[in-house]
Structures are given as C-alpha cells and as structure tokens.
Amino acid sequence: MRFDVITLFPELFAPFLSHGINRRAFESGLVDVRLWQLRDFAEGNYRRVDDRPFGGGPGMVMLADPLYRCWQAIRAERNEAEPAPTVLFSPLGQRLAHPVVTGFASGQGAILVCGRYEGIDQRFIDACVDAQLSLGDFVLSGGEIPAMALLDAVARLQPGVLNDAGSHQQDSFNPALDGLLDCPHYTRPEVWHGPQGEVAVPEVLLSGNHARIEAYRRQQRLHTTAQWRPDVLQQVRAAGGLTRQDEAALRAAGA
C-alpha cells in the first residue's frame, strides 16, 4: 500500500520512518510512504502557501492552489483506476479508532493532507478531501503527528513487522479480545522491590495452567476496561461481546 503525505515539514518524518520496529514496514515497502513538500507547488519568489482569511480574524489560511497542484501531481503519479481516498487531519474529523486503522491496513493507502496555521481553504476540502480524521478533542499545530500516528498503527498490522505474528491480536480494542482493553503484563523479577515494598507477580501467571491464565487475563481485561474506559465496555456489551461469566465477574468486582 502507498501513502502520499502532503506536508510543509517532511523532515519531521525522517526519524519516524527509520527507527523502531515499524521501520521494517517502511523500509521493505510494505507501507510505501512518499513525502511531498507543499512549497514545491507554490508560486512566486517566496513560495507562499498561506494568506490572511477573508472576513478577518486571527491566523493564516493555507491556499487552495498549491494544495491542488500537489494533489494533482500525486494523482497523476499514482495513476489508479480507483483513486485512493484523500484524508485531511482536522479537529472536525472522525476520531481515529481501531476499525478505521484496520480499514487502512487492508486497503490501497491514501493521500494524507497535513494542515497548518488556522486552517485550509474550504474550497480545496470540498473538492478533494474524502475524509477527515482527528486524534481527539484537542488542537495540534499541524497534521504531521496524526499522520505519523496513522502510519504507525497501520504499519504494525502488516505481516512480518512485529516479532510475533500474533502480537497485535492481543492489543487493546482488537476484535480478537471482543474490543476490550488489554490486561496488565508482568516480567522478571518475580518479586519487585518497589517504593511500596515487595510486589510479587500474580501467582496464576506462574502456574503453567494455560486455561487458568487465560481466564485470569479475561477477568483483568474486563476490570481494566470497566475502570478506565466504561464507554468501551458499554460498546462491547451492546455488541454482544460479554458472556454471562463476564457479567458475573463484573458484578463481583463491583463494576
């Protein structure tokens, strides 16, 4: 799959694409990321990409013309029978969630538009943007961080990227876990000498009894989801993802 990123700061992506376990996806081409410097498509001596907003007000607005020329160049190079979607990162957008990521992870890729300043000329959005995505109900200085978040989430779902092929199946929100949050994890030493004294690993995890371990982890996923994301628990319940045993465990825990 191929992702074309329209940005004023392509240099921000260099360390992201070359470090960490997900670099396997980028270096191998499983996730082909191409960066497009928007100023290369601006005109004039100053390569201007923004101007003051009509109607007054603070900030600057990104010009439609450089964005459109860059977008056209990407479309021409991709030359797809069915064009990939164009995505703008914006506080107005749908929140980036696991189902959205899995959709991109199994698709052809996308053109990612990283906005800056006060916003983008609405005429470009109306003409070229298919979807808007947001990381949450807050405002960032630009779309580069959300773009990297999407690329990171997509890359780790590609075959051969993670050391354990089934690792992402245990992730929070994964359908393999009915959409629940992940459970707590422990490693060596078996007894940790922390600020509150000795803390041992839960005995069940050392038992070697895989059925008991899985039952324990399921219970912990339920408790964690109820504690930290009750909204997610309600979604799982509404989708029929909770068994009678699950409901009994939640009642016993006072959740």
Beta strands at 197-200 and 191-194: parallel, antiparallel or unpaired: antiparallel
Q: Which two tokens stand for residue 161?
A: 């990227």
Say whether 91 is catalytic.
yes
Out of 156, 217, 218, 221, pick the active-site residue. Answer: 156
Name beta bridge partners: 34.
4
Residue tagged 């996923």 (tokens): 221
Q: Which two tokens stand for residue 10?
A: 């392509």
Please check whether residue 191 is in contact with residue 197, taking contact to mean a CB–CB distance below 8 angstroms: no
State the Cα–Cα distance between residues 186 and 205, nearest whole angstrom. 9
Residues contacting 59, CB < 8 A, separation 6+: 53, 117, 118, 119
Say whether 77 is catalytic.
no
Say whether 202 is catalytic.
no
Say whether 32 is catalytic.
no
Half-sphere exposure (Cβ direction) of 208: Cα atoms closer than 13 Å: 0
Out of 91, 175, 184, 230, pick the active-site residue. Answer: 91
Out of 65, 118, 152, 182, pick the active-site residue. Answer: 118
Out of 152, 171, 182, 237, pick the active-site residue. Answer: 171
Q: Which two tokens stand for residue 45?
A: 């001596």
Active site residues: 91, 118, 156, 171
